[in-house]
Chains A and B, each alone.
Chain A
Amino acid sequence: MRMNRRFFLHNGALAVAGTTAMPNFLVRSVLAQAAGAGQIGRGQRLVVIFQRGAADGLNVVVPYREKNYYKMRPSIAIPENQVLDLDGFFGLHPSLAAFKPLYDQGQLAIVHACGSPDMSRSHFDAQDYMESGTPGVKNTDDGWLNRALQAQDSADAAYVAACNCGRHNQEHTAFRALALGAEVPRTLAGTVPAIAIGNVNNFTVAGRGATPSPAASAFEAMYADSGDRIFHAAGDETFEAVKMLKAANPAQYTPATGVNYPNTDFGNNMRQIAQLLKANLGVEAAFTDVTGWDTHQNQGGVNGQLANRLGDFSASIAAFWRDLGDDRGNVTLVTMSEFGRTARENGTGGTDHGHANAMFVLGGQVKGGKVYGKWPGLDDDQLNEGRDLMLTTDYRQVLGEVVTRTLGAENLETVFPGARLRRAGFLRLV
């Protein structure tokens, strides 16, 4: 039987691993110690948000100096006097008012004309590519965020080997890779164990009481004493996670004073991510998604469908950011969507599937207050296939920089195989 990849995390699993050499990924904390607190890339946490359905980047971060923008979008363009100006060329959609102070304070960066180089206009394929991190390659097993954690493990192992300090005193917890949702998303699929929690209040065996129910205790003993090492280890992890969560008392959580999350699916997810981050459960990478961006018809301009989505989106993220308080310094948040939308509005007051889009990067270490990326222009002859915003920055370039600088993933070929990312190409936004 080949070594199972998921269960070498904790003491118990390490014990049953027996003669196996110490698994690489148990040693990472040495780095944090040795490298010192000042070094970026250690002890940083990454939060990834997927806007499913393809957000209309041109109405999110508006190139309001482009004449053709207004010509192409007669009924949905955001008027120049309504945008929240960023730099004299771009302006935020007015529903993103909650983002403006973060931008002004230098914590929020934007990368425009960015996305997957694959030309697919299928949500289905494009989301898959964004999440696998291998545009054009369908059958990649795992997701880029999981591979980033794998790369982090390798980097740590290499470091320990080099310094010959074969001791470690910290391990990853069951919450290392966390998804708020029913399933582990494609982005987090892979050899590093990931945990999916739909609702922190429900993550419990046989009831929610403060003391474990008889059934929960029986299961715990059963798995703890099991000679089946896979399930023994899985049981250890599960009950550890359940207990850690119970100790954090999720039902009692109140956000920081003055923080109000929107009462939406996305708002609730962001609240729970903040809660788990603040509870010091060992979350290193967190993922959630937000839907409703597929605005083919009746998209609206300053108000309307897209405006409502952006209101929820920015208010939830801003509340999350404020809620983090002192933790902001070691958290980075990045947003993505599978592709952008057509530069021209269509016949039904909406936009169709396009190409490049805008990404947000928010963090205590982020060099924000700037719109990054080369702007390709919006003249007719500057459009991709005559219809979409041209792509000038591969999203993997942004994510590659983010995972290097936050998670300490060094081998970018592991994270984004085939992308041939080079550090020289980093935008230097983190």
Chain B
Amino acid sequence: MDFLRAAIAPVLSWSLCFPAPLALAQDSASASNPAPNAASNDQSSASSKHRTTFASTQLQGDARILHALNRLTFGPRPGDVEAVRAMSLDKWFDQQLHPDNIDETDLNARIAQYPAMQWSTQDLLLRMPSPAIIRQAADGKINIPPSGTLHAVYENQIYRYQMRKAAKADKQTAANQGLGTPGAAQTPATNSNTTGNMSGAAMDGSGGFSGGAMAPNAVTATQPAAAQPDMTAATTPAMDTSSPNTMTPPAMNPASTAPALTPAPTPTADPVLIANILALPPADRVRRLQAMDPEHFDSFIKSLKPAQRAALVANMTPDLKESVEDLAAPEQTVVRELNAERLTRDIYSNAQLEEVMTDFWLNHFNVYLRKNEQMPYYLASYARDTIRPHALGKFEDLLEAVAHSPAMMIYLDNAQSMGPDSLAAERAKTVNERRPNAKRQAPEGLNENYARELMELHTVGVNGGYTQADVTQVARVLTGWTVDRPQLGGGFQFNENRHEPGTKKVMGAKIKDGGEAEGRELLHMLATRPATAEFISRKLAIRFVSDDPPQALVDRMAKAYLASGGDIPAVLTTLFHSPEFWSASNDSAKVKTPLEYVVSAVRSSNANVTNFEPLVNSLRQMGMPLYGCVPPVGYKWDEADWVSTGALVDRMNFALSLAANKLPGITVGWAPDIDMSALDDNAPAMQVVPTPESEEARLAQVLLPGGVSDATRAAALKQFEEQNGQNSLMATPVLAARKANRAPADAYEREDQLLAGLLMGSPEFQRR
């Protein structure tokens, strides 16, 4: 009887809830997207013979757990399926929705490596000064901290800044003397840093200190082969060359502060001095570096070999390590930690759904890292204080928080917007009229940028029922929402003087003159619109279900959104309990974005990451740099955006590099859990000797618990067969030695590395 009931109930719900759409979705999906594992292939062929029972269209058992892990986390780690099974899927989901009690001991220890990421934006800008701060300090516009490490940080950067200026002046002198024949082939090398408008230290790879054990050129993942090809192009940060920096630096006198010297070729630090400093205890090492004058410090840092760079910060507390990095390259340290902290959470957090949603909202409320020189500093707080606390909260709270974030106000220019009839605009007009040739005319009007995106991208969507007139009205409502002293990392500020007086009318609703309250009223109105419920629900369904989610599902989620007052967990719960989510046709239907791909590979290989730069660089190469999306729309979740020729090359090379421990600062291990010493004593019968087949099966279970296609397995194993056929000891030490059960452990490891790399580069691993 139980069996009957179980069979009937789903059939009923099938016919009641979604007769046509689901059937269609499934047919087309199984036709167009053969699921990689054999099990689902069997399923679809079986379903054509016997008209489906509902059970066969829904994932069951471990497949269900795996699906949940694939969609609601950044990918399963070894052991995750078993853990979820032990606690029950529903309970696991509930815990993910309410992650406060999840044990994060490991994560917290890793996050503790980045103390600066807990500072306020102001502190961060003061203590790890941006190029703009350094320029102002050099020009005497702000005071240099009088003593201590911080004093040395400023001195070092001012020195660098002046050297760069002097070098530029020299080049110009050379040009003036006719050394650079115009148009001739020997034009001086491109210097992407020739203008004061481009951030200085951010692009100055030469003096940067990369923290980990890598030279600037050793961090890319593209080439696992022994021969390192020319990586110049790949290691040039794409953002720096492709993106403008919109900030205009303060006026400065180019000559007055430059040292009266020609920059000498970088002097080499005395090897004995280097050895002496490296031999000091950690705290003394920092004191010693801090006491160096900028010139010696510069040559010292530039003389270090990669291993010495690692040794320089060895055994240091995170604070001391940060100090050393600050002394060498403050802005780079901020950017590096910003990226590292985010990836640390994506990879190691046990509250995976919270991180997935944080990533989702960071993308939904996209802010671009290089909008101006302060943005990296603001982004630390943006992720920490604005997005993550609300990632699993109420949408309206999140929207409010974003609207009150300096990062968004700057990124979408609302910080500069001014009511045309406001006090501030009147004043600006007077000033501008008095100085028509002023270098920078004070702004005196509206900027609609944020107003438009607030509706189009953040809430109701482009078809959400607003007009250009509404955009202008919203811009008026939001005048005065600005940032207090943005150059110094100040916070949100409502500036009454900039606010446009009078009543506004947005999408038919009157918003009475009320200062900052107008904006709050507007945000509440937008957050509670049905169009917003639909827009957010659809976007979530695209992230979690399929590129083209069923309308019935979206409608159900939107209903939950409206009923719960925009409660994100309520919407996700509806999603989780919808049959569309569990439909077998959606199994592995999503192509991983580069971020999902990279993070899932690291998670499934249980890698220990102490240096995130190779991952950061790989993401950039794959076209998805963290905080690197220039337009406000953010990255897409569709497969069409992420499957391309160049991308596949990058993914394959990344998989091979990761699996073979070729990414500096990232370690993985694949060795089988066997007693190798026992293998040596010529007692083969007592041991289960690993074969390529058994290793492939073992690794596949770890990396692709959902199953591996025959094609992938055959291709991965083929090379071992070929080698076996040749039976050459030189070519196949493992196979030859295996026969005598004398294969050394590292030979197995190498074989496993290749197998694991192939599995992580396989078509199956591109999907979730």
Contact = CB atoms under 8 A, between A and B. Distances in A.
Contact of A227 (B230, B656, B709): B709
A1 B245 CA distance: 40
B229 A231 contact: no
A113 B234 CA distance: 36
Contacts of A295: 195
B265 interface: no
A38 interface: no
A122 B718 contact: no
A265 interface: yes
Interface stretch (A57-65, A161-169, A207-215, A407-415): A207-215
A231 B763 contact: yes
B650 to A, nearest CB: 10
B194 A309 contact: yes
Nearest to B370: A124
Contacts of B758: 215, 218-219, 222
A36 interface: no
Contact of B241 (A4, A265, A268): A265
A232 B763 contact: yes
A241 B456 contact: no
Contact of B175 (A209, A307, A346, A349): A307
A326 to B, nearest CB: 22
Contacts of A94: 182
B716 A182 contact: no
Given A228-B36, A348-B251, A52 B244 contact: yes
B368 A124 contact: yes
Contacts, number: 315
Interface in A233-288: 234-235, 237-238, 241-242, 260-268
Nearest to B722: A214
Interface stretch (A144-152, A196-204, A371-379, A394-402): A196-204
B715 A218 contact: yes
Interface in B84-137: none
Interface in B720-768: 754, 757-758, 761-764, 766-767
Interface stretch (A25-33, A313-321, A359-367): A313-321
A297 to B, nearest CB: 5
B656 A315 contact: no
A141 B584 CA distance: 31
B643 interface: yes
Interface in B210-266: 222-227, 229-234, 236, 238, 241-246, 248-249, 251-252, 254
Report the contact-size class of chain A (Cβ under 8 Å from the partner). 35 or more
B649 A242 contact: yes
Contacts of B232: 199
Interface stretch (A95-103, A104-112, A327-335, A416-424): A95-103
Interface in B426-448: 436-437, 439-440
B190 interface: yes
B56 interface: no
A195 interface: yes
A195 B195 contact: no
B630 A348 contact: no
Interface in A109-161: 122-125, 127-128, 138-139
A128 B180 contact: no
Interface string A284-322: 000001111111111010011101111110110011000
A231 B183 contact: no
Contact of B712 (A53, A226, A292): A226
A205 interface: yes
Interface residues of B, number: 107
B175 A4 contact: no
B233 to A, nearest CB: 4
Given A201-B229, A295-B195, A123 B246 contact: yes
Contacts of B715: 218-219, 221-222, 225
Contact of B33 (A1, A185, A338): A1
B707 interface: no
A261 B190 CA distance: 13
B272 interface: no
Interface in B635-667: 639-640, 643-646, 648-649, 652-653, 656
B137 to A, nearest CB: 18
A428 interface: no
A43 interface: no
Given A222-B715, A228-B763, A238-B649, A264 B223 contact: no
Contact of A226 (B175, B226, B452, B711): B711
A382 interface: no
A223 interface: yes
A2 interface: yes
B252 A348 contact: yes
Interface string B471-493: 00000000000000000000000
Contact of B230 (A199, A214, A344): A199
B644 A264 contact: no
A311 B183 contact: yes
B712 A291 contact: no
Given A6-B640, A221-B715, A96 B183 contact: yes
A139 B633 contact: yes
Contacts of A138: 452-453, 456, 631-633
Given A181-B238, A196-B623, A225 B646 contact: no
A206 interface: yes
Nearest to A232: B763
Interface string B145-164: 00000000000000000000
B78 to A, nearest CB: 22
B103 to A, nearest CB: 37
Contacts of A202: 222-223, 229-231, 233-234
B763 A235 contact: yes
Contacts of B754: 214-215
Nearest to A272: B233
A303 B178 CA distance: 9
Interface string B166-192: 001001100110001011111111111
A340 interface: no
A88 interface: no
A203 B644 CA distance: 13
B413 interface: yes
A194 interface: yes
Contact of A231 (B190, B226, B640, B643): B643
A315 B184 contact: yes
Contacts of B767: 228
Contacts of B632: 138
B457 interface: yes
A229 interface: yes
Given A214-B719, A222-B712, A305-B194, A228 B33 contact: yes
A4 B32 CA distance: 10
Contact of A215 (B222, B630, B757): B757
Contacts of A386: 436
A265 B709 CA distance: 43
B190 A264 contact: yes
Given A235-B648, A262-B186, A352-B440, A53 B244 contact: yes
Contacts of B452: 138
Given A226-B712, A291-B190, A304-B175, 20 more contacts: A4-B640, A54-B244, A124-B630, A138-B632, A138-B633, A185-B242, A193-B645, A202-B222, A202-B223, A205-B653, A215-B224, A221-B711, A222-B711, A223-B763, A231-B766, A242-B649, A289-B242, A292-B194, A305-B172, A311-B183
* Nearest 9 CB-CB pairings of A with B: A123-B244, A207-B225, A225-B711, A260-B185, A222-B715, A231-B763, A198-B233, A97-B183, A264-B190
Interface of A: 1-2, 4-7, 52-54, 94-99, 122-125, 127-128, 138-139, 174, 181-186, 191, 193-199, 201-209, 213-215, 217-219, 221-223, 225-232, 234-235, 237-238, 241-242, 260-268, 289-298, 300, 303-305, 307-312, 314-315, 318-319, 338, 344, 346-349, 352, 386
5 contacts: A138-B452, A193-B645, A204-B649, A214-B754, A294-B245
